[in-house]
């Protein structure tokens, strides 16, 4: 196994590895669902009755940060890439972000031969 892993690393082109980051502003946020306690029991009564309110809300949590690490493989007219990324709100501490994997193909119809 070490030999095949070493051969893979030896043939791997580090020049196609990239780091990407950016900050974006979005016109609307992803809706989220939350439950809120709207009527706590009176203190000292020992009551256990509780009412909850369920609602869906949208908050602007701009700006958002996105960081990624990926690999791009260029061909004659198509570039293939795969990356792992994290995107989250810089402003909000309630937003735990989104982790993801993206696979892309970018076509350049007017690119000449390499």
Q: Among the residues of the chain, which ranges form H helices?
A: 2-11
Pseudo-torsion of CA 97, 99, 103, 108, nearest 10°? 30
pLDDT digits (tens, 9 = 90+) for 2-49: 566 666 566 667 788 999 999 988 776 666 656 665 565 566 666 555
Residue 96: which residues within 8 A CB-CB, separation 6 or more? 88
Q: Measured between alpha carbons, how far is residue 41 from residues 36, 38, 66 in Å?
A: 14, 10, 43
Nearest to 97, CA basis, from 87, 111, 85? 87
pLDDT at 93: 77
pLDDT at 66: 93
pLDDT digits (tens, 9 = 90+) for 59-106: 667 888 999 999 999 888 999 999 999 998 888 777 788 899 999 999
CB 65 within 8 A of CB 90: yes
Nearest to 63, CA basis, from 87, 35, 31? 87
Neighbouring C-beta atoms of residue 87, cutoff 10 Å: 16
What single DSSP character describes residue 16? G
pLDDT at 31: 63
Q: pTM to 2 decimals?
A: 0.61
pLDDT at 32: 60
């Amino acid at each position: 196994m070490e030999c095949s892993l070493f051969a893979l690393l030896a043939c791997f082109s580090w020049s196609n590895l990239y780091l990407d980051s950016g900050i974006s502003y979005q016109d609307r946020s992803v809706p989220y669902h939350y439950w809120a306690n709207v009527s706590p029991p009176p203190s000292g009564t020992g009551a256990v009755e509780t009412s909850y309110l369920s609602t869906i809300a949208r908050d602007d949590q701009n700006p958002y940060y996105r960081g990624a690490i990926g690999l791009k493989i260029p061909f004659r007219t198509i570039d293939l890439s795969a990356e792992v990324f994290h995107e989250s709100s810089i402003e909000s501490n309630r937003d735990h972000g989104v982790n993801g994997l993206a696979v892309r193909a970018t076509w350049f119809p007017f690119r000449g031969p390499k």
